[in-house]
Amino acid sequence: MNEALFIKELTSKKTREKAFAKLLDLYQERLYWHIRKIVGTHENADDVLQNTFIRVYRSLANFKQDSSLHTWMYKIAYNESIRFLDREKKKHFSSLTEVNEHFLGSLQGDSYFDGEEAQMKLHEVLKGVKEHQRRVFMMKYYDNLKFREVGEILEISENTVKTHYYAVVKHIEKNINAVAYIEKIKA
């Protein structure tokens, strides 16, 4: 797909609706899972996804094409997710970490979450890393974004992204067996 032509279609009054429908088809599922990993539940992810696409639609005329359309939309989705978590934090929790632990903890009981045992262990281990490191890891590991793209979305350098990502990888390698051992003892 020629991105420059697609962006012209998205910003033209004549072709905007049809192009936006195509944009939804192309990105809805990917952005849903990106958001879902941040906000935790299906219902919250649906709400944030809807807000994301509203913001994308309203902001298309201002898209400067400094990054790819894909990266720009991921950044909007990320920011909408963080805004959602901040609102939840103000309503119910004392810290953003508490919000994330609450939503990550709800994954096990969620019928939409297809959690294999290894994934659940990974989520448990990820609770032990700093929030900004977890976000970097999730974007790279689950969304398969390039280090450069993650840096653009989070507005940090590519080297910082790499540092955070590999710190989480080391943390996982160090702790994944400990979680399995603890679960075995509990059973």
Contact residues for 160 (Cβ-Cβ < 8 A; gap 6+): 151
Question: How many whole angstroms separate alpha carbon 50 and alpha carbon 109?
Answer: 24
Query: Is 100 in the same domain as 156?
Result: no
What's the domain range around 167? 115-187
pLDDT (mean) for 167-180: 77
* pLDDT score recorded for residue 110: 52
Does the pTM of the predicted model rise above 0.85?
no
Query: Is 23 in the same domain as 74?
Result: yes
* pLDDT score recorded for residue 25: 94
Query: Is 75 in the same domain as 158?
Result: no
Question: How many whole angstroms separate alpha carbon 80 and alpha carbon 72?
Answer: 12
Summarised one tens digit per residue, pLDDT across range 84-141 is 988 877 766 455 555 455 555 554 445 444 445 656 677 777 888 888 898 899 888 8
State the pLDDT confidence band at 184, using cuts at 50, 70 and 90: low
Question: How many whole angstroms separate alpha carbon 121 and alpha carbon 127?
Answer: 10
Contact in structure between 50 and 78 (CB atoms under 8 Å): no
* pLDDT score recorded for residue 62: 87
* pLDDT score recorded for residue 3: 87
CATH number at residue 100: 1.10.1740.10
Least Cα distance to 112 among 30, 176, 28, 32 occurs for 32
Token output for 91: 């309503």
Query: Is 28 in the same domain as 98?
Result: yes
pLDDT (mean) for 30-42: 89
Question: How many whole angstroms separate alpha carbon 94 and alpha carbon 108?
Answer: 23
Query: Is 121 in the same domain as 110?
Result: no
Distances, alpha carbon 16 to alpha carbons 1, 2, 6, 74, in Å: 16, 16, 10, 20
Domain end marker among 58, 84, 114: 114
Question: How many whole angstroms separate alpha carbon 9 and alpha carbon 16?
Answer: 6
* pLDDT score recorded for residue 148: 93
Residues above pLDDT 70, as percent of the chain: 78
* pLDDT score recorded for residue 114: 47
Domain end marker among 89, 114, 139: 114
Query: Is 183 in the same domain as 122?
Result: yes
Contact in structure between 22 and 35 (CB atoms under 8 Å): no
Number of domains in the chain: 2
CATH number at residue 141: 1.10.10.10
Q: Which has more pLDDT, 67 or 21? A: 21
Domain end marker among 114, 132, 147: 114
Query: Is 126 in the same domain as 90?
Result: no
Query: Is 101 in the same domain as 124?
Result: no
Query: Is 22 in the same domain as 70?
Result: yes
Query: Is 13 in the same domain as 105?
Result: yes
pLDDT (mean) for 38-53: 91
Query: Is 98 in the same domain as 7?
Result: yes
Summarised one tens digit per residue, pLDDT across range 48-61 is 999 999 999 999 98
